[in-house]
Amino acid sequence: MRQAPSESETETRKLARQIRLHALRMTSSGGSSHIGAALSCADLLAVLYGRILRVDPLRPKWPDRDRFILSKGHAGCAVYAVLAERGFFPVEKLLTHYQDGSDLSGHVSHKRIPGVEVSTGSLGHGLSIGAGMAYAGKLDGATNRVVVLLSDGECDEGSTWESALFASHHKLDNLVAILDYNKIQSLAPVAETLGLEPFADKWTSFGWALREVDGHDHEALLGALATIPFAAGQPSCLIAHTLKGKGVSFMENTVLWHYRIARGEEYEAALGELEGSK
């Protein structure tokens, strides 16, 4: 039998629920896609920003902060949501998402958004930038960590593997790659598009210390992320097995909800499920 959730888990679960609700409202009111990708990584972001990342909303450029890069920039609404919930900017700003004149673009942007380190949107860029930051951290003897959240689809990009090679060669154990492995990419399942298996073996053979976890189990995520680096002298890779669209039954594990926008009855149904969730 599963143990009762700890206090911290209740806290991060609440945060994850808020991220999901914001993401649904933002994508539906603005008419933007990628709700499936945002729901997929909501638990990862909640655990990171709720318990793991050393960041300070009052000092977004605090030099010793942990760096977080959303390499799968299309889940930008989820990052905006967690930053607003953590107090980096007013929650009301979220409703401008994807609207004319807004700062909140569909793919995550750092311009005028405190707390966003790097703008992304084209896949396969984030891990290189993160590796550069981690290398600088090593040179400076810094104690902070650089966490990069990647999608499975962006592991099709050769540049991802260029940076993976670099990070292990230079023993960047202050660098963490979290793979949001929901196994569905833009048009079809990963396995039918460009198979990544054996995925874990690829990362270990590239010299990364690896752990695999259920990406929606907060206790397990906390347990894994609290042990960074997984091995001294190696970058850490956490493969988080996730469900695309997690939290809304009819969105879960479907290709359709990569791009589809919830409107009318679908929106109400999704909202109802998320509001009723714990």
Partner 1 sequence: MRDAFVETLTALAEHNAGIMLLTGDLGFGVLNRFAERFPRQYLNVGVAEQNLAGLATGLALEGRIIFTYSIANFPTLRCLEQVRNDVCYHDANVKIVSIGGGFSYGPLGISHHATEDLAILRALPNMTVVAPCDLWEVKEATRALAGTTGPALLRIDKSAAASIVHPGEKFQLGRARQLRDGADIALVAAGGIMEEVLSAADMLAQRGIQCRVLSMATIKPLDVESLVRAVDETGGIVTVEEHTVDGGLGGAVAEILLEMGCIPKCFHRIGLRAGFSSIVGTQKYLRKVYGMDPPAIVAVVEQKLLSRELWLSEYIAR
Query: Which residues are at the interface with partner 1 (CB under 8 A)?
Result: 110, 117-122, 124-125, 127-137, 139-140, 158-159, 162-163, 165-166
User: What is the distance between the alpha carbons of residues 246 and 274, in angstroms, rounded to a whole number?
Assistant: 10
Q: Judged by CB, which is closer to partner 1: 139, or 232? A: 139
Minimum Å gap between C-beta 134 and partner 1 is 8
Closest approach, Cβ 168 to partner 1, in A, equals 12
To partner 1, the closest distance from the beta carbon of 114 in angstroms equals: 15
Q: How many Å apart are CA 54 and CA 39, to the nearest integer?
A: 23
Residue 260, number of CB atoms within 10 A of its CB = 17
Query: Minimum Å distance from CB 200 to partner 1?
Result: 22
Helix %, strand %, coil % for the chain, to 5? 45, 10, 45
Cβ closer to partner 1: 39 or 108? 108
What minimum distance in Å lies between the beta carbon of 100 and partner 1? 21
Query: Number of C-alpha atoms within 13 angstroms, CB side, residue 238?
Result: 28
Residue position matching structure tokens 């009111």: 29
Phi-psi group of 264: left, alpha or beta (phi > 0 → left; psi -120 to 50 → alpha; rest → beta): left
3-class secondary-structure state, position 237 = strand
- Closest to partner 1 by CB, 109 or 236: 109
If the CB atoms of residues 63 and 264 are measured against partner 1, the closer one turns out to be: 63
Kindly tell me which of 98 and 135 has the beta carbon lying closer to partner 1.
135
Strand order of the sheet with strand 175-181? 67-70, 146-151, 175-181, 236-241, 209-214
- How far is residue 220 from each of residues 33, 57, 147, 168, 234, measured CA to CA in Å? 29, 26, 17, 25, 21
User: Residue ranges of the alpha helices (H) in the chain?
Assistant: 7-30, 35-47, 76-85, 126-140, 158-169, 190-193, 199-205, 218-225, 264-276
Nearer to partner 1, 12 or 120 (CB): 120
Between 2 and 111, CB nearer to partner 1? 111
Residue 113: CB minimum distance to partner 1, A:
13
The CB-of-136 to partner 1 minimum distance in angstroms stands at 4
